[in-house]
Amino acid sequence: MACLALIPSSSSAPNSTGNLISTAQNVLLSLDSNGHLATLVYNQNWSALKDCIESALPLTMWFNLTVFDQSMHVINPYPICNAGAVSDKIVSVDYVCASPNSTYTLYTLRLQLSEAGLT
């Protein structure tokens, strides 16, 4: 499945915690604007999901994504992340999306972000 092309914002200074939260929310909203995110989750296409999030973030940013079912059980069988955390300041944003089929299964996605140099 093709990945939605997003251009990460560039910044010369590390994001504040508030900016990281905004970045996480914007990435999830952008990926789900046409149901792309929900389709990747529904099809359990974890590698494409990782690629999409990775391409939407600056290289200096670490992420970890966890996908939960309606009972808040983790459904991704392995970590969806790009490495180890690059700072001890980590933000976490939860996002709820529905499956693209008629049953409308709900998923909660928890995206955690950190950026190198954030203190």
The pLDDT tens digits of the residues spanning 24-39 come to 999 999 999 888 999 9
Coil, helix or strand at residue 75: coil
Name which CATH class applies to 17-115. Answer: alpha beta
Task: For residues 47 and 73, give the distance between their C-alpha atoms in angstroms, rounded to a whole number.
Answer: 20
50 pLDDT above the threshold of 50:
yes
Which residue in the block uniquely carries the two structure tokens 């966890």? 66
pLDDT of residue 5: 42
List the domain boundaries for the chain.
Answer: 17-115
The predicted model scores a pTM of 0.82
Q: What is the mean pLDDT of residues 95-112?
A: 92
Average pLDDT of the chain to the nearest whole number: 85
